[in-house]
Every structure is written in C-alpha cells, then in structure tokens.
C-alpha cells in the first residue's frame, strides 16, 4: 500500500515536471519568437536608461537585453508543505500572466526544483538553479532551515534572492545582504503581534507548542517577547521534531498544566492534523488556542468544524476591503478554481518585487546593484495592503487579527500596525 502510494505520487510529480518542462520550453520559444520584435525597442530604451542611472556603459550586447528573465523556483512540491509551494508558484505566475507573460517588459523563463523541505539537500538544490540553470533570481523557499542554505549560496554567488515565505529571522537579521529580499514576514513578526493580543486579554500563564526548528522556535520567541513585556509568563515551551504529527502525549501534558492559553506554530499538513487532534481531545472549548495565522491558512477545507472560531495573527486575511485584494482574488479564483491564501499572495508579491527591479534597469539584469536598489525602494501594491521594505529588506506591514468563520479567516481588526522586524544583527 505504502509503495503504491509512493509510486503514484512519483508518477504525478513526473507528469507535473513534464508539464513544466514543456511550459518552460514554450515560454523560451515565445521569447525567441518575440526577440526580433522586442530587439529594436530594447535597444532604443537601453541607452537613455543607463544614462539616467549615472552614465554606466551601454549593455554589451543586444542579446543581454532581449534574453528572457530566468526565474528559479526552489520550493517544496512534496511533503507537509507541498500545498504552500504550489500556492506560491501559482501566485507568482498569475502576476506574470497579468503582465502579458512578461516582467518589466521581458519574457520569463521558469526553472524549478522540489526542495522537499529538506535542509540536507538544500545547498545542492540551490546550486542546481544558480550554477546549472544560471537563473537571474531564485524564488525560494518555504522552510526556514532550507532557507538558511539558500541565503548562503545566493550570497556567495551574488544572485538575487526573493524569499516568498520562510520566516528565518537570520535572513533579514545577521545574514541580511544587498541581494536578499523577502515578500513574506520574519518568524518574529506574527508571533510578536499575537503576544500583544494575548497579554492585552489579561492572560497570564501560557504554554507554547511547535515543531523544533527555526520557524517554530522563532515564532515562540517573538510571542514571548511581546507577552512577557506586558506581564505574562510562558510557563512551558513544548516541541516535537519537524514534521512529526504525533501530538497526543503533548496535548495530554498541556491539559494537565491547565494554562490560561496556548500559543502554537504549525503549518500545512501538520496544522490540519493538530487542529483536529486538539478538538478531538475536547480542549477546543476549554483552553483558548492562539497561533500565528499559518495554523489556519490554506487548511480550512480540511480542518472543518475543528477550526471554527480560532483566532490567529497574520499579514493577510479574508474580508479585506481594498480593491487590489478584490481584483487579485477574482483573478486567482478564475485562473486556478481555488481561493488564494497567504502563500499565493507572497508569490504574487515576489513577482511584483522582481518586476520593480527589472523595470529599473530596463531588463538588463547584469546591473545587479541597480536591481537591488530598485527593489529595496519599491512600494509594493499588495493584496494584503501596500507595503515597503525595511533597510534589512523585510516587509513593514500590518498584522491582522483573524477569526475562523466557515472556510475563511475573517479580519476582525489590526493587531499590530506597520510592524517592522527589529532586524537584530543586520548591518545593511
């Protein structure tokens, strides 16, 4: 049975890979066909753009200006975070489609690697995109442990990196760099926002529970910082290895500790299982459960009744009233027959950030410093609400308090306005 499942998944992935290879090929072919038409325009535009940016020499060859932008997705397409990786890619591709298949006026060629959320394979996977495929930008990833390796390889090669999810505080902290950008959040941010909410409700004794890896531990650290600053006490920090889902003994332990509330970080498949186990253990109406919003984002169909009423903090929510979100949601639903989630938004905004860089250099990606400067200064018109980047290249953004109603994380207000990660240790 197990082997059968594995083989089916392998076959499906192979089909997926074939589909994407075909797509890359089609896009590359389009780029070639379009090259002749765009060449004159590119040449016409390149000189004034260079002159404007300080008299740098003109692009060395017409081919550099007409070559497609090579985007490398390093994302989880298998395992507990597979749905997250797919949503990010969907969001990114939607923005490209809306620009007529281009970014900053240039054709786009996609390459992709399944990182399996496995830190051990991360350096090799990052090198496949950077060294083998020679991409202009890596868009990756979801898992904070994998992210650490990507940051290192991207910095060594001075390759543009846009992080479309992973919150690893280090990436926009001590390991920040001119070429490293994030379209998502730092792990500290949603945890900190929730720490304020729980303290303001008068809760005093809280137990935390998460997977024992950077995302969980850093979310708890953010929560604890805000919560204890306001007089609360984290009485026990419980963990289990990533991506284990044997929650029963830990749930029993929490029940016996009788805290005022519990704060957790789980996401993807693990989040579905935790929310169901928590309700099945009879704790849903006994101990208030709080979390960063990943616990209930992209998971509500599967969590069903067990998730109703849960409150979380995140930089995206259902029921926002800005027109940008409304058009994004309509376009996403039309393209994919799915409702978007926070991961789709982060993918979409990663594409917007890249577009800002490409536009600023008129498509000449060899002008790396100008690309970085433009992305760093961009104001991103995001479905979550417009945001800018901090000096460490992390979004400065509002964190919503959300409550689960049916299959939606309805916004019930703003938990933290324009919250900036402290970027401790960043020397940019």
Residues at the interface with ligand PHB (CB under 6 A): 81, 142-144, 165-168, 187, 215, 267, 294
**Least spacing, CB of residue 404 vs ligand PHB, in Å:** 16
Query: Which is closer to ligand PHB, CB of 364 or CB of 421?
Result: 421
**Least spacing, CB of residue 294 vs ligand PHB, in Å:** 3
Dist. CA 9–CA 17, nearest whole Å: 12
**Least spacing, CB of residue 123 vs ligand PHB, in Å:** 17
Cβ 418 vs Cβ 351: under 8 Å: no
**Least spacing, CB of residue 258 vs ligand PHB, in Å:** 29
Q: Nearest CA to 134 among 35, 179, 193, 67? A: 67
Contacts of 150 (CB under 8 A, 6+ apart): 74, 122, 126, 138, 140, 141, 161, 163
Query: Which is closer to ligand PHB, CB of 102 or CB of 343?
Result: 343
Query: Which is closer to ligand PHB, CB of 227 or CB of 294?
Result: 294
Dist. CA 52–CA 46, nearest whole Å: 10
Query: Which is closer to ligand PHB, CB of 275 or CB of 358?
Result: 275
Grouping H, G, I as helix, E, B as strand and the rest as coil, residue 257 is: helix
Q: Nearest CA to 364 among 45, 10, 6? A: 45
Query: Which is closer to ligand PHB, CB of 27 or CB of 74?
Result: 74
Grouping H, G, I as helix, E, B as strand and the rest as coil, residue 121 is: helix
Query: Which is closer to ligand PHB, CB of 143 or CB of 315?
Result: 143
**Least spacing, CB of residue 330 vs ligand PHB, in Å:** 25
- For the record, the structure tokens of 117 come out as 């959320």
**Least spacing, CB of residue 406 vs ligand PHB, in Å:** 21
- For the record, the structure tokens of 178 come out as 């001119």
Dist. CA 65–CA 383, nearest whole Å: 31
């Amino acid at each position: 049975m197990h082997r059968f499942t594995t083989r089916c998944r392998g076959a499906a992935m192979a089909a997926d890979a074939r589909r994407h290879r075909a797509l890359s090929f089609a896009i590359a072919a389009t780029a070639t066909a379009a090259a002749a038409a765009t060449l004159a325009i590119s040449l016409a535009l390149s000189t004034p753009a260079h002159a404007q940016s300080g008299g740098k020499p003109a692009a060395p060859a017409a081919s550099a200006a007409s070559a497609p932008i090579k985007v490398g997705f390093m994302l989880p397409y298998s395992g507990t975070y597979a749905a997250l990786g797919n949503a990010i890619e969907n969001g990114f591709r939607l923005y490209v489609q809306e620009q007529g298949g281009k970014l900053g006026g240039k054709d786009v060629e996609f390459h992709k690697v399944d990182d399996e959320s496995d830190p051990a394979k991360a350096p090799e996977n990052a090198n496949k995109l950077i060294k083998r495929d020679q991409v202009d930008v890596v868009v990756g990833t979801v898992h904070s442990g994998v992210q650490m390796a990507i940051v290192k390889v991207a910095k060594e090669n001075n390759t543009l990196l846009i992080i479309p999810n992973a919150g690893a505080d280090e990436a926009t902290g001590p390991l920040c760099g001119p070429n490293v950008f994030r379209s998502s959040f730092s792990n500290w941010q949603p945890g900190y926002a929730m720490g304020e909410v729980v303290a303001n409700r008068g809760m005093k004794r809280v137990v935390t529970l998460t997977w024992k890896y950077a995302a969980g531990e850093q979310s708890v650290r953010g929560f604890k910082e805000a919560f204890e600053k306001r007089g609360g006490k984290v009485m026990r920090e419980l963990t289990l290895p990533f991506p284990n889902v044997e929650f029963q003994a830990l749930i029993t332990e929490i029940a016996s500790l009788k805290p005022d509330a519990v704060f957790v970080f789980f996401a993807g498949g693990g989040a579905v299982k935790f929310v169901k186990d928590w309700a099945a253990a009879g704790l849903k109406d006994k101990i208030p459960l709080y979390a960063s919003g990943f616990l209930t984002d992209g998971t509500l169909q599967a969590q069903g009744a067990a998730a109703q009423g849960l409150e979380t903090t995140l930089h995206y929510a259902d029921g926002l009233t800005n027109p940008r979100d409304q058009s994004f949601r309509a376009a996403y639903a039309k393209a994919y027959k799915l409702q978007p989630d926070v991961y789709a938004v982060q993918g979409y905004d990663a594409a917007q950030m890249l577009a800002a860089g490409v536009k600023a250099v008129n498509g000449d990606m060899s002008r790396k410093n100008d690309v970085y400067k433009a992305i760093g200064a961009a104001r991103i018109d995001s479905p979550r609400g417009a945001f800018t980047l901090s000096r460490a290249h992390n979004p400065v953004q509002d964190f919503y308090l959300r409550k689960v109603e049916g299959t939606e994380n309805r916004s019930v207000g703003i938990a933290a306005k324009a919250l900036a990660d402290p970027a401790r240790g960043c020397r940019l």
